[in-house]
Structure 1
Amino acid sequence: MGVRVIGPLDAAGLDVALAPFLNAQEPTAAPYVGALVDRGWVAPTDAGTYVLTQEGVETHAKLLERIQIQRAAVTAGLTDDDYRTLLDLLQRVSANVDAFASTLR
């Protein structure tokens, strides 16, 4: 699996790219981007966008490798279709949980 590079992005572009991970309680990625800037993994540019630093690129590569190893281990024996079905089902369950949780507030 190759790495898809999408950037540099500004704050609004990051929110669009990370929309699947955002919700009403966390509508923006800004606090997380700030934490990555503080760690030295991301740097703001003069153009108002954010880019990975060299340390960020190296850290991303290490994390990606670990994720790929873990994903291979936990999905051993699943076909690509099985995996897509699994993700679809989990996304639907997650949406149902979110919808139900919103009724409890």
Structure 2
Amino acid sequence: MYMSDDNKPIGWWLKEVDRRLEASFERLLADDGLTRRQWQALNVAARQTPIAAALAPFLSGDTAELAAVVDPLVERGWLAGDKLTADGERALQALTTKVQAQRRGVTRGITEDEYQATVDVLRRMAANLA
């Protein structure tokens, strides 16, 4: 049975948006030889937050999976443990420009109030499911 877009439930849209976000970020960062998780790791390190804890919701918990994210960044000299190096800070600044442009495209036609309301509704739904 075909469901029109108007009849698709929130779960369908959540998975669709997640799938498309993952794919768009992978394309965006591919020229830099990075994954979305590596981008997240750099951002987390810039906030001086433990990378493993911050990425836990996105990874299986396997230490090899975390190493696959972090080790290439250490090898590039962008991370020292959970800390961003000077080279990492420069790389993050350059990448941030690309990512911000991507985010503007993703939220095109959506007001700040609409965006915040959507986030708030999703946060409350998650809390209801907890």
TM over 0.5: yes
Structure with bigger strand share is 1
- Report what 1:36 is aligned to: 73
2:112 is equivalent to residue 62 of structure 1: no
For residue 60 of structure 1, what is the amino acid of its counterpart? Answer: L
- Aligned-residue CA RMSD (Å): 3.2
CA contact (8 A) 1:40 1:55 kept: yes
CA contact (8 A) 1:43 1:52 kept: yes
Q: TM-score, normalised by structure 2?
A: 0.47
Structure 2, unpaired ranges of 5+: 1-42
For residue 66 of structure 1, what is the amino acid of its counterpart? Answer: K
CA distance in 1, matches of 2:77, 2:111: 38
Deviation at 1:25? 6.1
* Counterpart pick for 2:112 among 55, 60, 80: 80
Equivalenced residue count is 79
CA contact (8 A) 1:15 1:28 kept: no
CA distance in 2, matches of 1:24, 1:32: 12
CA distance in 2, matches of 1:56, 1:63: 10
Deviation at 1:29? 2.1
The percentage of aligned residue pairs carrying the same residue is 36
Structure 1, unpaired ranges of 5+: 45-49, 93-105
5 Å-filtered alignment, 1:1-105, equals: 5-7=46-48, 13-23=50-60, 29-44=66-81, 50-84=82-116, 85=118, 88=122
Structure with bigger helix share is 2
Pair 37,23 (structure 1): closer, same or farther in 2 beyond 3 Å = same
Q: TM-score, normalised by structure 1?
A: 0.56
For residue 58 of structure 2, what is the amino acid of its counterpart? Answer: F
